[in-house]
Amino acid sequence: MHTTIAEFVADLKLMGRGPRTIEGHELELRRLGRWLEENGLAWDAVTRRQLQEYARLRADLGFSSRSNMFCSLRVFYKWAVEQGYVALSPAAGFKTPVKPKPVPRALNRPQVRTLVQYLDELGAAGGRRAVRDRALLLTALYAGLRAAELAALRWPAVDLAEGVITIRLSKMNHGRSVPIHPALAEVLTSWREVQGGAAGWPVFSLDGEGFNPNRVGKIARRVSEICGVKFTAHTLRHSFATWALRGSGNLYAVSKMLGHSQVAQTEIYLSAAVDDLRDALGRLPGIGGW
């Protein structure tokens, strides 16, 4: 099988696959090759049932490892069919495991209070960069924008008079309008005066040049380390969703503000509002109060 793997890897390189992808496939196939050799099986005669037996040995691995295994088997045997080495792929019906959906981590009220207090101090004592960082993170918290949306946002899309941010094209390939909280409107108005740029500038640029989404994450990490509240730029989006749902109970409206294509995508934030669940639980009568 070693020669066949080498041929497969060479063809992956010809197709322009990335080095890490190729390395992952090669490692997985060499692992399969050792198992086949130990069990006296030939790679080009192995059955689907025998391949399933191999996969079951790795059932306790994490999601990524299991997904990579199934992907490598499917890609390799599909290639083997195209090359005429086997008539049918024994891995054709293997499906990628369903990835578990973790509950989004949102900041609680004391954490938000600590973060906002630090940002206020930062904006009061710092220069243009500090004021910009405050406006950026508060926009993430009060509007729920993604890092890429924050980076791409330009002033023509921010209507402070009407109180609306327009996202013309989102991750889900459609636009949306996000209302601006009055407190955020004051922050953005102050920042615009400090920025002093042209009307078409990126909102969070210091010099009018483009704003890289990676910089949003770096700013969030730096502030997180200093203020002691563990969060990322995406945590602020989660916090917006959780607190907006907690305050309004309007799943549809929050879904639209987040730019989700389906309301079901927003429902996960319902499970994040543990305090609401605890309040609902508290409405049950005591053991002797029924």
14-68 tens-digit pLDDT: 998 888 899 999 999 999 999 999 999 999 999 999 999 999 998 888 888 888 8
What pLDDT score does 108 carry?
A: 87
What pLDDT score does 241 carry?
A: 82
What pLDDT score does 175 carry?
A: 74
What pLDDT score does 116 carry?
A: 93
Q: How confident is the model at residue 144 (pLDDT cuts 50, 70, 90)?
A: confident
Q: How confident is the model at residue 125 (pLDDT cuts 50, 70, 90)?
A: confident
Report the chain's mean pLDDT, rounded to a whole number.
85
Mean pLDDT of 134-157: 92
What pLDDT score does 252 carry?
A: 61
Q: How confident is the model at residue 225 (pLDDT cuts 50, 70, 90)?
A: very high
**Is the pLDDT assigned to residue 275 strictly greater than 60?**
no
Q: How confident is the model at residue 98 (pLDDT cuts 50, 70, 90)?
A: confident
Q: What is the 3-state secondary structure (H, E, C) of the chain?
A: CHHHHHHHHHHHHHCCCCHHHHHHHHHHHHHHHHHHHHCCCCCCCCCHHHHHHHHHCCCCCCHHHHHHHHHHHHHHHHHHHHHCCCCCCCCCCCCCCCCCCCCCCCCCHHHHHHHHHHHHHHHHHCCHHHHHHHHHHHHHHHHCCCHHHHHHCEHHHEECCCCEEEECCCCCCCCEEEECCHHHHHHHHHHHHHHCCCCCCECCCCCCCCCCHHHHHHHHHHHHHHHCCCCCHHHHHHHHHHHHHHHHCCHHHHHHHHCCCCHHHCCHHHHHCHHHHHHHHHCCCCCCCC
Of the ranges 40-54, 252-266, 269-283, the best mean pLDDT one = 40-54
58-94 pLDDT per residue, tens: 888 888 888 889 999 999 999 999 999 999 999 988 8
Q: State if pTM tops 0.95.
A: no
What pLDDT score does 242 carry?
A: 81
Q: How confident is the model at residue 268 (pLDDT cuts 50, 70, 90)?
A: low
What pLDDT score does 85 carry?
A: 94
What pLDDT score does 168 carry?
A: 81
Q: How confident is the model at residue 285 (pLDDT cuts 50, 70, 90)?
A: low
